[in-house]
Amino acid sequence: MYDTLIPSNIASALAHVRQRIQDAAKRAKRPPSDIQLLAVSKTFNAHAVLEAAQAGQTAFGENYIQEAIEKITTLAANTPPLQLEWHCIGPVQSNKTRLVAEHFDWLHTLDRAKIADRLHAQRPEHVNPLNVCIQVNIDHSATKSGVDPSEALALARHVLTLPRLHLRGMMCIPDPSDSPEQTRQAHRAAKTLFDTLRAKLLADAPHFDTLSMGMSADLECAIEEGSTMVRVGSALFGQRPIPAQNAVQP
Ligand SMILES: *Cc1c(COP(=O)(O)O)cnc(C)c1O
CB of 234 within 6 A of ligand 1: the answer is yes
Residue with CA nearest ligand 1 atom 7 = 216
What is the mean predicted confidence (pLDDT) over 214-221?
97
Rounded distance from Cα 245 to ligand 1 centre (Å)? 9
* Residue 202 clears pLDDT 50, i.e. is over it: yes
* Residue 248 clears pLDDT 90, i.e. is over it: no
* Residue 1 clears pLDDT 90, i.e. is over it: no
Rounded to whole angstroms, the Cα distance separating 205 from 199 reads 10
Q: Given this model, what pLDDT does residue 176 score?
A: 84
With beta carbons less than 8 A apart as the criterion, state whether 113 and 124 touch: no
SS3 144: coil
Which atom of ligand 1 is the closest one to the Cα of 63? 15
Confidence of residue 241 (pLDDT cuts 50, 70, 90): confident
Least confident of 2-6, 43-47, 160-164, 190-194: 2-6
Which atom of ligand 1 is the closest one to the Cα of 232? 9
Query: Which residues does 102 contact at the CB level (< 8 Å), separation at least 6?
Result: 122, 123, 124
What is the mean predicted confidence (pLDDT) over 53-76?
97
Rounded to whole angstroms, the Cα distance separating 96 from 66 reads 9
Closest CA to 193 of 147, 144, 132: 147
Q: Given this model, what pLDDT does residue 10 score?
A: 96
CB of 216 within 6 A of ligand 1: the answer is yes
* Residue 4 clears pLDDT 80, i.e. is over it: no
Query: Which residues does 89 contact at the CB level (< 8 Å), separation at least 6?
Result: 38, 40, 61, 62, 63, 108, 109, 171, 212, 231
Rounded to whole angstroms, the Cα distance separating 117 from 206 reads 21
Which atom of ligand 1 is the closest one to the Cα of 216? 9
